[in-house]
Structure 1
């Protein structure tokens, strides 16, 4: 903006300020032509949090829209003064500054800008569309006889916030509200007045008006338990200066011993307990969205005013703890925050620019007013302002400078002595390269040369200068180009900040982080860093991701409980108690569950660490699943070998008597046959009637008893044969067999088994196959594997005899160097204690006489000892059992 004035000094000062604090507010991206010009009318000043929040929402939406938009922002500064005289001054300024129809659309922020545009829009800007936001106490009648206006209303959740506050503080009997004579306060007070009747039997509302901040602090400090404070507007100090929203909120909460609540998001984290708050950013984004719709051709008269806001509950954890409020008692869907960094600390780096903006606005308005009254008063005001500005510069902790087109210093602030040890006169007339060694000067020259060629801003350029005493000083440089009216570069103006200590700390931190990174991310054990209090996972190493099957983004920010990592969540509580009692955990055995729902065993160790002043837990989990399995396999194999050693002796001792019993029973049957002549002749000698004897034996069930003796002998012989399986190697040769065919024959064998049919017909069982490779040839002993399959099918059939719709799900698939066959039934399942012993010799849960306890133990011996495979069982009581047979794809017995 060029101001026509005859005073060269004033022009130089204005241009200096404009260059120093100007911000490029164009949202058009590189190489994208600007299509629309939009004016944003802000009711208040630029540093007001509410105004900035709405402005950010507008900027963000336009940036992401991809549409070229030139954005011009006007701050009406109506918090400080708002009367007819001031409105007339603003009218004159805008009439002088802008032309009718210069903009395609106007976005109005808050009530004062809205009211101003309703009155002056047509005179100043022509009949262009207006989209408003942040308007309190909106009535449809406000738009009577006004065209092309639409927008979003600031719908404040007064009742919801009061209800939540009373629910969290049931002892409350008085609500205190402080206010000043402002449009915002009067509108919000009227809204609360309308709902006071809902609380007339329980709560009193007290309005303390025309107070200042110092008076409020005293009044709030004196409030006793049972009181509650609501913040509904801004506040002034004793000097009449409007305080920032955050400062007002913080000072009130700090002074009061009672809870403070509010209705805007910019108060959250600055002393209020919470509330159902309205978001300025959301207001801005919605207004920008409506504006872009209109700019693209929509008729604003067809876009209705949005009268509701998507407000959300927000609460401050520090304040909740201060008033002993449990998070679980908050309204459903509440957000909990705890901002550790205050507004002043967070925006410390912007103080210089903020002060510059205030100075610029002050001088700009002053120039326009004084230009009417006379040049003399203008010159006096500008000299005073220049003195004030120079005072600000010279008191800054940064080194402020200006160089000409050759890089020679034409101005340096006194802070150069504190940073480099040189007086101002020793620096003027020199370049920055005079304070560097040759190598650094060459490097920095290339950086600056690239920036200067483009007439670009200098942004956070780091360089190392030599202090007058000889030590190195690391500087961070930020600067803007100085251009003449023709756009030619005349120099640069900027600031240097001493970041020597920060760089040293950063380098030390980087070294420490690199060491930790190597240990953490390349460790052979799974490592997890989590928040000790919330349990949220902060980071995990590669071994954790590989062993548990997760991607990093799936676990960060979630808890072990949410991921279901612990098979038994009580293990975490036990370990937490150990941490509290001992400060660490060492080799605590736990069961964990992978993403694929596989249960694994691990040894858990943990220590407390501090990360960014927060207590965290560094956990290390060593996978011992395979070790445990190997130990169990060794124990089981030793049992089998022990039984095998016993088996040979038992077999030989029992086989001979059994053979005698069975052979003699056959001889007895032969001697009693009436068809044989020898039997008849001898019977006649003794006068014995064989037919009568046969009738006698039938009637006395002697024949049946003899059958039982034979059956018992055969059963004993079968047991002996099973026992012998432990002590001798099969004579059958290993060969490649089709497992699918072998399985079919095993199913057919189970279907035709006579003993099984007597108890349960196997053909009633539904067989479901889920086989990925039915043509796979596996090296094995055919009859032995068939015996294993038959034993598993038989046991499952007997277990499902009371199941309504019995079924087997049989799966076959490849897994690494193994071929796996799974038999899953829907029977009653096994208890954990039974599942652990199911492969032990002579262990059975069947009634006496129904089982030997050798079927599955023999099967285990065949698979593990003779075929080098695995036989495992998985079961949950009441949900069936799954037997898993794993056979090697290659075997040493087959070349």
Structure 2
């Protein structure tokens, strides 16, 4: 790899075998090099010889790896380029040490191709023409065979030296300077190939901040030594601070011993602040480093102390806009790199040295200066150790990683919660769908195109006896053989994408025929293919259809009967009128009757006697009674067949009971099968019974249905103890209305029949003999139309009692 070297007095340099054995000078003075003592090599033991071969093999392997993985570009391709840095002062000064380190780091870093050599003039200790000449002679002898490609110099003495001796020592070698005060182009006039960076001071900017940070300051005490460089700096400060005159008093230190100066500084009051320029030597010519002098001044001061040089920022120094030697060194290195790269020094203008606002952390807090009030781009040094500041990048990376992980966790939590909500909604929808399917009275079976079961509702469980877990995935013909013939319709429905209706199925349940309709619905959405087979029990619907047909027939018969009643009523009225006229024609006391009898040679009494003897009067009375009975029957039929009105009227319960009994006795079909002459009908209706508001025809219909059911129950049944078959109709007053009871001493009902006696279409009679709607219609009429109650009490062998109530209320 290309290597860079820094060779200087005080920096280790490979010893020249031809040179003398004195150790080289160090930065801070002479350092003795301890020569290593030659010693005899120890005798090798046989045990060590045993490890010689493995060691050689390992060394060869390591060498092979190093050659294999070495960077080929790291090997030096050209000899190193030499650069010579000449410092005006020695390495004991922080200014020189920091500047040299900056030049070395940027111009001749490890692995570079630049060899940096350093020479220190130490002009703070000695300077003059004779010294310059001696120093030049030393360089001539030292670099007689080695010509540097670049010259660098720091501070004024080094630049002045090169102005005088550059062409003699290193003719034509470009020069880069730094740290030069009060620079003007005249200083390098006639010296081609020179560029660099000036040293600029910023006392005005420092003083401006000082006055803002310490509003109570009225006086600025400026400290500077009276050396040649000190007087030059003092003149520069005076010129820069001139705009502050009138705003604050400017007081300069006298050329006195340092001890007296420190006493003056210690006596300064709170209205004064100190601005330190450059201080190196006092009136007694006692010298100290700039750093040492600054430390002693800040230690003695009880007021804020600011400075203009970066090397003074230590101890109790607050800071300011400072000249920093490291910045000077970096700029010098940048210019040197560009020149070594081939750029013309004349094309590189001299740069104005920048200043940086630097402040001590402890002093900012001591004088209660908020960091937010510092100028932009300020830097605070000597902060207490902070893990965050020491590892900011690493902490930010870790924090970013943790934040990313937290964001990922939060995102995962959100996704998981969303997934949980979605799954909950999905479960809810599944449960809802399952509940909907399970609540349906129909059998619902989902099948795949292959005939495998994919859905099985509760009605399917009831019909087949197979639980869903056992049915899922199995073939339909195994689980529900009755639906196996519907499998061809599954493919038909999938092909047509239309529902397919199957043939009606008939099955027998406890000897009762049940009718079922089959419909196949296609499923071909969202990637799912299959079909739903729905099996509907339509037995009740079929009965309703038959009942509606029967009702239509009954309506037709009722209309025909009403018409016949009207037709019968006319001749019946003529018969009754004729009978009435016959009986009136033979009544004595009527003039017309007497005259007609006399004309025939007899009396009315003789005619009545004759007719009575022959039974004619009795027969006429019978005809009249039969006619009146027939008229009542026709009237009852007309009243029953008329459409019920919605108006409730006060009704005589006794009359309604009598009419219902007479209608039941006159029903031909009823008398044909259940002759009332074989039944005893007892009517227990008190004459003073209240009259509830009701619909007479509907109440008569209820009573007629109860009488028919009682007569049917007594048909062919012999009551216990030889008692005659009896129907008892009882009416009585209750607190809220009237209760009517119809009781028979028939066979009674078992509990399962009694529980369903009011259900529509439920009947125990043979098929075709009744619709099973009589009691359900009666229950509806009483409970819904009249807001009453309807109950039944029955035990096997104990007869049956039906009781309904009619509440009292105003007629509407």
Q: TM-score if structure 1 supplies the norm length?
A: 0.38
